């Protein structure tokens, strides 16, 4: 499912217009992003938890030349599924 399919499904289930559903989806991701930037997590009971993680700097290898390269520290998003989501699949 892509974003437009998600918006359409939400619109059908809630009787919201496509435009309102689109704004709701966009607002949700905006709020999640802002919260993660503050190094806080977002917990949706039963669904899961979004959290910001820092991946440490490390050495890697260029697969073409075998040369060792430095990979910089990077912030990533983690998601741990909740019990209800796990049970639904």
d(CA 4, CA 25): 10
- Whole-number Å distance between alpha carbons of 82 and 63: 37
> Rounded to an integer, what distance in angstroms lies between the CA atom of residue 74 and that of residue 42?
20
Q: Is the pTM of this model over 0.85?
A: no
Percent over 90 (pLDDT), the chain: 98
Average pLDDT over every residue of 11-36: 95
Structural domain spans, the chain:
3-88
Query: How far is residue 73 CA from its own chain's centroid?
Result: 19
Could you give the dihedral angle defined by the CA atoms of residues 28, 48, 6 and 18, in that order, rounded to the nearest 10 degrees?
-30
Kindly provide the b/e burial profile for residues 8-22, where b requires at least 16 CB atoms within 10 angstroms of the residue's own CB: eebbeeeeeeeeebb
Average pLDDT over the chain, rounded to an integer: 95
Q: Which whole number is the average pLDDT over 27-31?
A: 96
pLDDT tens per residue across span 44-77: 999 999 999 999 999 999 999 999 999 999 999 9
Assigned CATH for 3-88: 4.10.520.10
């Amino acid at each position: 499912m892509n974003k437009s399919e998600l918006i359409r499904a939400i619109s059908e289930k809630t009787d919201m217009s496509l435009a309102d559903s689109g704004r709701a989806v966009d607002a949700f991701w905006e709020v999640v992003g802002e919260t993660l930037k503050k190094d806080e997590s977002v917990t949706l009971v039963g669904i899961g938890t979004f959290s910001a993680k820092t991946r440490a700097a490390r050495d890697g290898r260029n697969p073409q030349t075998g040369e060792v390269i430095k990979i910089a520290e990077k912030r990533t998003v983690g998601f741990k599924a909740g019990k209800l989501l796990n049970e639904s699949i």
